[in-house]
Structure 1
Amino acid sequence: MLRIGYVRLRDEASAVETTALKALGCHVVRAEESPGEDEAAVLMSILDFVGSGDQLVVTRLNNLGDSARAILDVLDRLQQRGAVLVIADPELTSEGSGGRALRAALEAVASVEPQPALRRRRPAADEILELQRAGVGPVEIARRLGVSRMTVWRKLKAVEA
Protein backbone atom coordinates (compact mmCIF):
# COMPACT_ATOMS: atom_id res chain seq x y z
CA MET A 1 0.00 0.00 0.00
CA LEU A 2 1.31 3.40 -1.03
CA ARG A 3 0.22 6.59 0.79
CA ILE A 4 0.37 9.60 -1.53
CA GLY A 5 -0.12 13.07 -0.06
CA TYR A 6 -1.55 15.89 -2.16
CA VAL A 7 -1.76 19.61 -1.43
CA ARG A 8 -2.63 22.69 -3.48
CA LEU A 9 -0.11 25.42 -2.71
CA ARG A 10 -2.00 28.65 -2.08
CA ASP A 11 -0.47 30.34 0.96
CA GLU A 12 1.83 29.92 3.94
CA ALA A 13 -0.47 27.25 5.39
CA SER A 14 0.43 24.97 2.48
CA ALA A 15 3.92 24.36 3.91
CA VAL A 16 2.30 23.28 7.17
CA GLU A 17 0.01 20.94 5.22
CA THR A 18 3.00 19.36 3.44
CA THR A 19 4.68 18.72 6.80
CA ALA A 20 1.42 17.31 8.19
CA LEU A 21 1.09 14.90 5.25
CA LYS A 22 4.60 13.59 5.86
CA ALA A 23 3.74 13.17 9.55
CA LEU A 24 0.65 11.17 8.52
CA GLY A 25 2.95 8.60 6.93
CA CYS A 26 2.76 9.61 3.29
CA HIS A 27 5.50 7.96 1.25
CA VAL A 28 5.26 10.68 -1.38
CA VAL A 29 3.84 14.22 -1.14
CA ARG A 30 2.95 16.04 -4.34
CA ALA A 31 2.01 19.70 -4.53
CA GLU A 32 0.05 21.63 -7.13
CA GLU A 33 2.34 24.63 -7.47
CA SER A 34 1.20 26.71 -10.40
CA PRO A 35 -2.41 27.78 -10.61
CA GLY A 36 -3.47 28.25 -14.16
CA GLU A 37 -5.42 26.76 -16.98
CA ASP A 38 -4.59 23.14 -16.13
CA GLU A 39 -4.74 23.71 -12.40
CA ALA A 40 -5.08 20.07 -11.36
CA ALA A 41 -2.37 18.51 -13.53
CA VAL A 42 -0.53 17.03 -10.54
CA LEU A 43 -3.74 15.62 -9.07
CA MET A 44 -4.66 14.07 -12.42
CA SER A 45 -1.24 12.42 -12.69
CA ILE A 46 -1.67 11.00 -9.17
CA LEU A 47 -5.09 9.63 -10.12
CA ASP A 48 -3.56 7.99 -13.20
CA PHE A 49 -0.80 6.46 -11.06
CA VAL A 50 -2.58 5.14 -7.94
CA GLY A 51 -3.26 1.46 -7.76
CA SER A 52 -5.47 -0.92 -5.87
CA GLY A 53 -5.05 -0.55 -2.11
CA ASP A 54 -3.21 2.79 -2.36
CA GLN A 55 -4.33 5.84 -0.41
CA LEU A 56 -4.57 9.46 -1.53
CA VAL A 57 -4.17 11.61 1.59
CA VAL A 58 -5.23 15.26 1.87
CA THR A 59 -5.34 17.49 4.92
CA ARG A 60 -8.63 19.09 3.84
CA LEU A 61 -11.30 18.03 1.40
CA ASN A 62 -11.22 21.33 -0.51
CA ASN A 63 -7.67 20.51 -1.70
CA LEU A 64 -9.28 18.16 -4.21
CA GLY A 65 -11.37 20.76 -6.02
CA ASP A 66 -13.42 23.91 -5.90
CA SER A 67 -16.78 22.21 -6.31
CA ALA A 68 -18.58 19.15 -5.02
CA ARG A 69 -18.76 17.82 -8.60
CA ALA A 70 -14.95 18.04 -8.94
CA ILE A 71 -14.46 16.20 -5.66
CA LEU A 72 -16.96 13.51 -6.69
CA ASP A 73 -15.02 13.04 -9.92
CA VAL A 74 -11.85 12.44 -7.88
CA LEU A 75 -13.70 9.94 -5.67
CA ASP A 76 -15.00 8.12 -8.76
CA ARG A 77 -11.52 7.86 -10.27
CA LEU A 78 -10.08 6.58 -7.01
CA GLN A 79 -12.84 3.99 -6.73
CA GLN A 80 -12.23 2.82 -10.32
CA ARG A 81 -8.56 2.31 -9.46
CA GLY A 82 -9.33 0.51 -6.19
CA ALA A 83 -7.74 3.30 -4.16
CA VAL A 84 -9.01 5.12 -1.08
CA LEU A 85 -9.23 8.78 -0.13
CA VAL A 86 -8.07 9.70 3.38
CA ILE A 87 -8.90 13.15 4.77
CA ALA A 88 -7.00 14.33 7.84
CA ASP A 89 -9.36 17.09 9.01
CA PRO A 90 -11.97 15.90 9.76
CA GLU A 91 -10.72 12.30 10.01
CA LEU A 92 -12.59 10.56 7.24
CA THR A 93 -12.02 8.03 4.48
CA SER A 94 -13.92 7.11 1.36
CA GLU A 95 -14.40 3.58 2.73
CA GLY A 96 -17.26 2.21 4.78
CA SER A 97 -20.22 4.09 6.17
CA GLY A 98 -18.26 7.34 6.51
CA GLY A 99 -17.39 7.15 2.82
CA ARG A 100 -21.01 6.55 1.86
CA ALA A 101 -22.07 9.53 3.98
CA LEU A 102 -19.37 11.70 2.41
CA ARG A 103 -20.49 10.73 -1.09
CA ALA A 104 -24.16 11.38 -0.25
CA ALA A 105 -23.35 14.83 1.15
CA LEU A 106 -21.24 15.74 -1.90
CA GLU A 107 -23.96 14.52 -4.27
CA ALA A 108 -26.53 16.65 -2.45
CA VAL A 109 -24.32 19.74 -2.74
CA ALA A 110 -23.46 19.00 -6.38
CA SER A 111 -27.15 18.77 -7.26
CA VAL A 112 -27.68 22.44 -6.36
CA GLU A 113 -24.41 23.83 -7.75
CA PRO A 114 -24.69 25.78 -10.99
CA GLN A 115 -23.42 23.81 -13.95
CA PRO A 116 -19.98 25.04 -15.14
CA ALA A 117 -21.17 25.64 -18.70
CA LEU A 118 -24.03 27.78 -17.46
CA ARG A 119 -21.84 29.73 -15.06
CA ARG A 120 -19.60 30.96 -17.89
CA ARG A 121 -22.49 31.95 -20.13
CA ARG A 122 -23.93 35.45 -19.95
CA PRO A 123 -27.66 35.39 -20.46
CA ALA A 124 -29.15 37.85 -22.88
CA ALA A 125 -31.67 40.35 -21.55
CA ASP A 126 -34.20 38.75 -23.92
CA GLU A 127 -33.94 35.40 -22.10
CA ILE A 128 -34.46 37.04 -18.73
CA LEU A 129 -37.40 39.13 -19.97
CA GLU A 130 -39.01 36.10 -21.59
CA LEU A 131 -38.83 34.15 -18.33
CA GLN A 132 -40.13 37.14 -16.36
CA ARG A 133 -43.09 37.53 -18.74
CA ALA A 134 -43.81 33.82 -18.25
CA GLY A 135 -44.24 34.54 -14.55
CA VAL A 136 -40.89 33.25 -13.34
CA GLY A 137 -39.45 35.22 -10.42
CA PRO A 138 -35.93 36.69 -10.39
CA VAL A 139 -34.53 34.08 -7.99
CA GLU A 140 -35.80 31.21 -10.14
CA ILE A 141 -34.56 32.96 -13.32
CA ALA A 142 -31.09 33.17 -11.77
CA ARG A 143 -31.16 29.50 -10.81
CA ARG A 144 -32.35 28.36 -14.24
CA LEU A 145 -29.76 30.42 -16.10
CA GLY A 146 -26.93 29.67 -13.67
CA VAL A 147 -26.23 33.31 -12.81
CA SER A 148 -26.51 35.45 -9.70
CA ARG A 149 -29.72 37.21 -8.74
CA MET A 150 -27.85 40.50 -9.06
CA THR A 151 -27.16 39.74 -12.74
CA VAL A 152 -30.88 39.20 -13.29
CA TRP A 153 -31.77 42.45 -11.50
CA ARG A 154 -29.18 44.43 -13.47
CA LYS A 155 -30.42 43.10 -16.81
CA LEU A 156 -34.04 43.87 -15.87
CA LYS A 157 -33.13 47.42 -14.78
CA ALA A 158 -31.17 47.98 -18.00
CA VAL A 159 -34.18 46.94 -20.08
CA GLU A 160 -36.51 49.23 -18.10
CA ALA A 161 -34.21 52.24 -18.62
Structure 2
Amino acid sequence: MLRIGYVRLRDSCSADDTAALKAIGCHVVRAEEPAGYMADGSAMLTSILDFIGEGDQLVVTRLEHLAHCTRSLLQVIDRLECKGATLFVVEPEICSAGEGGRALRAALQAVASLEPLSAPRRRGAPSTDEILALQEAGIGPVEIARRLGVSRMTVWRKLRTQAA
Protein backbone atom coordinates (compact mmCIF):
# COMPACT_ATOMS: atom_id res chain seq x y z
CA MET A 1 0.00 0.00 0.00
CA LEU A 2 1.33 3.37 -1.06
CA ARG A 3 0.50 6.31 1.20
CA ILE A 4 0.46 9.63 -0.63
CA GLY A 5 0.34 12.82 1.41
CA TYR A 6 -1.24 16.00 0.05
CA VAL A 7 -0.65 19.52 1.39
CA ARG A 8 -1.93 22.89 0.22
CA LEU A 9 0.74 25.54 0.78
CA ARG A 10 -1.33 28.28 2.32
CA ASP A 11 0.33 29.43 5.53
CA SER A 12 3.05 28.67 8.06
CA CYS A 13 1.29 25.43 9.09
CA SER A 14 2.13 23.89 5.71
CA ALA A 15 5.67 22.94 6.79
CA ASP A 16 4.21 21.34 9.92
CA ASP A 17 1.66 19.47 7.77
CA THR A 18 4.40 18.15 5.48
CA ALA A 19 6.46 16.97 8.44
CA ALA A 20 3.40 15.36 10.05
CA LEU A 21 2.56 13.46 6.87
CA LYS A 22 6.12 12.16 6.57
CA ALA A 23 6.13 11.19 10.26
CA ILE A 24 3.01 9.03 9.92
CA GLY A 25 4.53 7.06 7.08
CA CYS A 26 3.60 8.74 3.81
CA HIS A 27 5.87 7.43 1.08
CA VAL A 28 5.31 10.53 -1.04
CA VAL A 29 4.17 14.01 0.00
CA ARG A 30 2.99 16.40 -2.68
CA ALA A 31 2.27 20.09 -2.09
CA GLU A 32 0.70 22.81 -4.17
CA GLU A 33 -0.22 26.46 -4.00
CA PRO A 34 -3.77 27.19 -2.79
CA ALA A 35 -4.81 28.61 -6.17
CA GLY A 36 -6.84 25.55 -6.98
CA TYR A 37 -9.10 23.12 -5.28
CA MET A 38 -10.60 20.13 -6.98
CA ALA A 39 -13.42 22.03 -8.68
CA ASP A 40 -11.07 24.86 -9.68
CA GLY A 41 -8.61 22.62 -11.49
CA SER A 42 -6.13 21.69 -8.76
CA ALA A 43 -3.33 20.27 -10.89
CA MET A 44 -1.47 18.40 -8.14
CA LEU A 45 -4.55 16.85 -6.57
CA THR A 46 -5.86 15.84 -9.99
CA SER A 47 -2.49 14.28 -10.76
CA ILE A 48 -2.56 12.32 -7.50
CA LEU A 49 -6.11 11.11 -8.17
CA ASP A 50 -5.09 10.00 -11.68
CA PHE A 51 -2.01 8.17 -10.37
CA ILE A 52 -3.32 6.55 -7.19
CA GLY A 53 -3.98 2.83 -7.46
CA GLU A 54 -5.93 0.06 -5.80
CA GLY A 55 -5.08 -0.34 -2.13
CA ASP A 56 -3.31 3.03 -1.98
CA GLN A 57 -4.22 5.76 0.48
CA LEU A 58 -4.44 9.54 0.10
CA VAL A 59 -3.50 11.21 3.38
CA VAL A 60 -4.26 14.79 4.45
CA THR A 61 -3.86 16.46 7.81
CA ARG A 62 -7.32 18.07 7.73
CA LEU A 63 -10.42 17.38 5.65
CA GLU A 64 -10.76 20.96 4.41
CA HIS A 65 -7.40 20.65 2.63
CA LEU A 66 -9.03 18.68 -0.16
CA ALA A 67 -11.84 20.87 -1.45
CA HIS A 68 -13.59 24.21 -1.16
CA CYS A 69 -17.05 22.69 -0.70
CA THR A 70 -18.66 19.45 0.38
CA ARG A 71 -19.71 18.48 -3.14
CA SER A 72 -16.10 18.72 -4.33
CA LEU A 73 -14.98 16.68 -1.35
CA LEU A 74 -17.48 13.98 -2.26
CA GLN A 75 -16.09 14.01 -5.82
CA VAL A 76 -12.59 13.37 -4.46
CA ILE A 77 -13.84 10.47 -2.34
CA ASP A 78 -15.76 9.07 -5.34
CA ARG A 79 -12.64 9.15 -7.51
CA LEU A 80 -10.65 7.42 -4.80
CA GLU A 81 -13.29 4.71 -4.41
CA CYS A 82 -13.41 4.15 -8.18
CA LYS A 83 -9.69 3.47 -8.08
CA GLY A 84 -9.97 1.18 -5.04
CA ALA A 85 -8.07 3.69 -2.90
CA THR A 86 -9.00 5.28 0.42
CA LEU A 87 -8.77 8.65 2.13
CA PHE A 88 -7.17 9.05 5.55
CA VAL A 89 -7.51 12.29 7.51
CA VAL A 90 -5.08 12.82 10.38
CA GLU A 91 -7.07 15.35 12.42
CA PRO A 92 -9.64 14.20 13.42
CA GLU A 93 -8.67 10.64 12.55
CA ILE A 94 -11.07 9.56 9.81
CA CYS A 95 -10.75 6.92 7.11
CA SER A 96 -13.05 6.48 4.12
CA ALA A 97 -12.88 2.69 4.43
CA GLY A 98 -15.31 0.49 6.35
CA GLU A 99 -18.12 1.61 8.65
CA GLY A 100 -16.44 4.93 9.38
CA GLY A 101 -16.24 5.62 5.66
CA ARG A 102 -19.94 4.98 5.18
CA ALA A 103 -20.73 7.28 8.09
CA LEU A 104 -18.40 9.95 6.68
CA ARG A 105 -20.07 9.74 3.26
CA ALA A 106 -23.57 9.95 4.80
CA ALA A 107 -22.59 13.01 6.83
CA LEU A 108 -21.00 14.72 3.83
CA GLN A 109 -24.02 13.98 1.63
CA ALA A 110 -26.31 15.47 4.29
CA VAL A 111 -24.19 18.63 4.47
CA ALA A 112 -23.94 18.86 0.66
CA SER A 113 -27.72 18.74 0.38
CA LEU A 114 -27.91 21.84 2.58
CA GLU A 115 -25.25 23.84 0.72
CA PRO A 116 -26.63 26.29 -1.81
CA LEU A 117 -25.71 25.69 -5.42
CA SER A 118 -23.53 28.47 -6.72
CA ALA A 119 -25.75 31.08 -8.28
CA PRO A 120 -25.04 31.94 -11.89
CA ARG A 121 -23.72 35.41 -12.51
CA ARG A 122 -26.30 37.87 -13.78
CA ARG A 123 -25.78 40.12 -16.73
CA GLY A 124 -26.29 43.77 -15.95
CA ALA A 125 -27.45 45.40 -12.77
CA PRO A 126 -30.64 44.31 -11.03
CA SER A 127 -33.55 46.66 -10.97
CA THR A 128 -34.11 48.92 -8.00
CA ASP A 129 -37.46 47.18 -7.48
CA GLU A 130 -35.75 43.80 -7.06
CA ILE A 131 -33.38 45.22 -4.46
CA LEU A 132 -36.13 47.07 -2.59
CA ALA A 133 -38.34 43.96 -2.54
CA LEU A 134 -35.55 41.95 -0.93
CA GLN A 135 -34.78 44.74 1.54
CA GLU A 136 -38.45 44.98 2.52
CA ALA A 137 -38.41 41.23 3.12
CA GLY A 138 -35.79 41.89 5.81
CA ILE A 139 -32.72 40.87 3.84
CA GLY A 140 -29.56 42.89 4.34
CA PRO A 141 -27.51 44.50 1.55
CA VAL A 142 -24.69 41.94 1.66
CA GLU A 143 -27.11 39.02 1.29
CA ILE A 144 -29.03 40.88 -1.44
CA ALA A 145 -25.78 41.28 -3.38
CA ARG A 146 -24.98 37.58 -2.98
CA ARG A 147 -28.44 36.48 -4.09
CA LEU A 148 -28.51 38.75 -7.11
CA GLY A 149 -24.92 38.01 -8.13
CA VAL A 150 -23.76 41.62 -7.99
CA SER A 151 -21.32 43.58 -5.87
CA ARG A 152 -22.35 45.05 -2.54
CA MET A 153 -21.53 48.49 -3.92
CA THR A 154 -24.19 48.05 -6.63
CA VAL A 155 -26.79 47.33 -3.96
CA TRP A 156 -25.65 50.25 -1.80
CA ARG A 157 -25.82 52.66 -4.76
CA LYS A 158 -29.35 51.58 -5.68
CA LEU A 159 -30.49 51.89 -2.06
CA ARG A 160 -28.84 55.31 -1.69
CA THR A 161 -30.51 56.69 -4.84
CA GLN A 162 -33.86 55.43 -3.58
CA ALA A 163 -33.38 57.08 -0.17
CA ALA A 164 -32.50 60.46 -1.71
Instruction: State TM-score, norm by structure 2.
Output: 0.76
Contact 1:59 1:88 in 2 (8 A): yes
- Report the CA distance shift for 1:46/1:36 in structure 2 as closer, same or farther (over 3 A): closer
Q: Distance in 2 between matches of 1:72 and 1:154?
A: 37
Q: Distance in 1 between matches of 2:85 and 2:157?
A: 48
Match of 2:48? 46
Match of 1:5? 5
Question: Does 1:71 find its partner at 2:67?
Answer: no
Match of 1:138? 139
Match of 2:60? 58
Segments of 5+ residues of structure 1 without an aligned counterpart are none
Match of 1:15? 15
Match of 1:33? 33
Match of 1:125? 126
Q: Distance in 1 between matches of 2:25 and 2:133?
A: 57
Could you tell me how far 1:98 is from its partner in structure 2? 1.5
Q: Distance in 1 between matches of 2:11 and 2:131?
A: 45
The letter of the residue matching 1:112 is L
Q: Distance in 1 between matches of 2:138 and 2:124?
A: 15
Segments of 5+ residues of structure 2 without an aligned counterpart are none
- Report the CA distance shift for 1:113/1:85 in structure 2 as closer, same or farther (over 3 A): same
Aligned to 1:125, the other structure's residue is in SS state coil
Question: Does 1:86 find its partner at 2:88?
Answer: yes
Contact 2:5 2:30 in 1 (8 A): yes
Runs of 4+ in 1 over 6 A off after TM superposition: 150-153
Could you tell me how far 1:122 is from its partner in structure 2? 7.2
The letter of the residue matching 1:101 is A
Cα shift readout 1:102-131 (whole Å, capped 9, x = no counterpart): 222222222232323x16557842397299
- Report the CA distance shift for 1:88/1:41 in structure 2 as closer, same or farther (over 3 A): same
- Report the CA distance shift for 1:14/1:79 in structure 2 as closer, same or farther (over 3 A): same
- Report the CA distance shift for 1:99/1:158 in structure 2 as closer, same or farther (over 3 A): farther
- Write the mapping of 1:96-135 to structure 2, written as runs, cut at 5 A: 96-116=98-118, 118=119, 120-121=121-122, 124-126=125-127, 129=130, 132=133
